[in-house]
Amino acid sequence: MLSLSSVGQSVGLVLSGGGSKGLAHIGVIKALEERQIPIDFITGTSTGAIIGGLYASGYTAEEIQAIFLSDEFIDLMRGIKDEDYNYYFKKEKSTASWVEIPLDLKDFSSTTLPTNLVAPSGLNFEMMAVFEPAGLVASNNFDQLMIPFRCVASDIENKESIIFREGNLTEAIRASMSYPFYFRPITVEGQVLFDGGLYNNFPADIMHSEFRPGVIIGSNVSGNEEPPTEDDIISILRNMMVSKSNYSLDSNNGVLIEPNVPIGAFDFENLYELIDSGYLSTIRKIDAIELKVERRRKPEQLSEMRAQFNDQKTELRVSDVEVRGVNENQAKYIQHVLHLNKKDDESHLEGLKMRYHRLSEDDKIVSLFPKLVFNEKDTSYTLILDVDLNKEFKVDFGGNFSSRPINTGYVGLHYNHLGKLSYGLHGTSYFGKFYNSAELRARIDFPTRFTFSLQPFYRLSRYNFFQSLSTFFELDRPSFLVQNETFYGLDFSTPTGSNSKLMVEFGNGEFRDDYYQTDNFSTTDVPDRTSFPTTSVAVKWAKNTFNYKQYPNQGLNVLLSLRYNNSVEKFRPGSTSVGQSLFESNHEWAEARFLYDHYFKQRGVFRLGGMLELVYSGLGPFNNYTASVLRAPSFEPIPITRTLFLESFRAYQYAAAGAKVIFDLKNRFDLRLEGYLLQPYRRIDRQNSNEYVIEESFERRFTMASATLVYQSPLGPLSFAGNYYFNINETFLQESPFIFYVQFGYLIFNKRALD
């Protein structure tokens, strides 16, 4: 292939980096093909390396466009995994965590911060599936691709560019696109490599030195950084990291195309317009290109050239797995998870894909990098899996800051170990005025054909409600209700699919509610107290594909729960009780709950969602109204409702439904409009301060509505919200049924004992 220059004028194509702006390169290639301009050599950086590598590997411009415009690719670039490959069984329970920091207890100086926003393992697998067939045809020699190819990465230790001429094609291109703090860097032959654009974002010099073509056509969608200013830390850091690149070409043998792409590097909107911009910019320069390039490559010649190359590609059937970067026991665990079956089609790459993604969900694994090696004896492949493990200890921080008095901090400490078994020990704590909790939980995973986990746990929780809805600018009255829970037990779970699992819980606990049954109390009064030790057994089936743990706008959440409880109620009157005495009673009851919460596919700028919840509880009334309503199931569809004691939305039996309209204003910005209706059947109706009845009818119903502007930041959601409550009993909401608040972070707590 390198002899082209000796038989006719050769043409080299240089593709710059530039993030999503680089999709304009696809339009450039389309226009060149349309005018039969040959492309004999390609050099690229970052996005230019991906597009150039695909074209050099035998993909057409239309196929490259289809890859980049697919929902799967866009989601991978945003760090979102297709819901079919989410492994719900391995996902740890949601916490209010914002950031995780791995710890090395032997050497704190080696403690690291996260180096990427996007989880890399899914992207690595897709790149392997796309590039490995061509790389194997070329025998890892980039001159033997359909079009000779070079890409560059950056060695930040030696402050120099690395040129890839040979080796694993997937590895080379993945290194070239490892944009700092967005994609995780990879290690190649002991060197940690980052995005090639740090030191050479337009590799025209490499095109000249490596191939010496007669004509160089350059497509550039980037530029050098503006000079830093003393008060702009981002500008300073970018200038420190990125060297200036030369984006010019010699006018004697070069033509520079510069598509107009006024968007951010990681903006994945309006991608068609980006491709069109590259096409139109090339057409504007086509006269200059045709004057310099005399040769033409007819479509049938190009098709024959591509067919000859692609016909050498073989089906990717994997016959063996070799695990690197871990010890022998860890490798055995990983191979058990992949459980390669050579007797059926599961050995094909598509069959392995599901199990690979399940492995990547393990919190003990930071990243997976797969490569293929050809076995000539049986024309199969060995999967080489480079595994990067998490440090065994990590700490995470988070919480919620709110304009209401519910500010909560979160700290978690975790120990994870991978050997023949996978196990971990997790301690989580929440602390604040409204909520305090501590949980210790262990988890042991058994990677057998019948996969399951055991999780013993011990949890303390305290909810401290207030009598007003004041903001932090106002004073609160004393707390009128405090709930304390101590609960311990054992959870068993097993997957029933990629996105679902079956759970069985055995638990025992002590619950204590301190409360006043009157508004006339002070800080010196002693509250009434209801305590009840409880034994509980629950069976649950859950499916969850939500894309965010709070304020999701995509996916499905289904829960079916059956629970049996046995308890002894013990009542002790406080200083404000009149005519009440010590009381004790046994309770034995069953509960059933069904939840269906679905966000439908996006159509344009908005999407619709719907929710249905059905609850049945056989619990009988307690000694008094407050104790009874406290233990009735509660409808809490909006995050803020978890912090409010709303008697109207509590009932022993009810049906609830909701509708949601979400406007996708821009990437990570949503405007949410939500409305919910609760239809109770068996509810507690207060007659006066000490009397109540159990009302079994459909006469009353209650509604709430919410409007929320949400920004899903990399740390957590920032929300501006207003809620409205209609036709309810609470005096403080009848006076002012609107609640406005601003929050940053997660209103996520440790699970309530009997939920």
Which letter, b or e, does each residue of 362-373 get, where b requires 16 or more Cβ atoms within 10 Å of its Cβ? bbbbbbbbbbbe
Within 8 A by CB and 6+ apart from 356, the residues are: 121, 125, 338, 368, 370
The 10 Å Cβ neighbour count of residue 677 is: 16
**pTM to 2 decimal places:** 0.81
Nearest CA-CA partner of 175 in 199, 139, 205: 199
Mean pLDDT score of the chain: 86
- The string of pLDDT tens digits covering residues 298-343 is 999 999 999 999 999 888 888 888 999 999 999 988 988 887 765 5
Model confidence over 662-698: pLDDT tens digits?
998 877 899 999 999 999 999 888 877 667 888 888 9
Residue type, 113: L
Residue 4 has pLDDT above 90, yes or no: no
Residue showing tokens 């599936």? 129
155-159, 370-374, 567-571, range with greatest mean pLDDT: 567-571
DSSP string, 152-185: EEEETTTTEEEEESBS-HHHHHHHHT--TTTS--
- How high is the pLDDT of residue 111? 47
CA distance 48 to 43: 8
Q: What is the mean pLDDT of residues 358-383?
A: 85
Alpha helices in 138-270 (DSSP H): 169-176, 204-211, 233-241
3-state secondary structure of 647: helix
pLDDT at 450: 84
Residue 605 CB-density burial (10 A; 0-12 exposed, 13-18 middle, 19+ buried): exposed
The predicted pLDDT at position 739 comes to: 86
Contact 201, 16 (CB under 8 A): yes
Confidence of residue 352 (pLDDT cuts 50, 70, 90): confident
pLDDT for the residue numbered 106:
62
Query: Which 8-state DSSP code applies to residue 65?
Result: H
Pairing status of strand 380-389 against strand 393-402: unpaired
Over residues 188-233, the pLDDT tens digits come to: 888 888 888 888 999 999 999 999 999 999 999 886 555 655 555 4
- For residue 615, which of 640, 596, 598, 587 has the smallest C-alpha distance? 596
> Residues 490-534: pLDDT tens digits?
999 999 988 999 999 999 999 999 988 877 777 788 899 999 999
**In angstroms, rounded to a whole number, what is the distance separating the alpha carbons of residues 268 and 19?**
9
- What is the rounded distance in angstroms from the CA atom of residue 148 to the CA atom of residue 39? 10
pLDDT surpassing 90 at residue 601: no
Please name which of 372, 413, 381, 477 lies closest in space to residue 131, comparing C-alpha atoms.
372
Greater pLDDT, 251 or 319: 319
Question: Which residues, at least 6 apart from 10, have a Cβ–Cβ distance to it below 8 Å?
Answer: 4, 38, 40, 41, 211, 213, 214, 215
Distances (CA, A) of 680 to 229, 248, 695: 61, 72, 9
% the chain with pLDDT above 70: 88
The conformation of residue 685, written as its DSSP 8-state character, comes to E
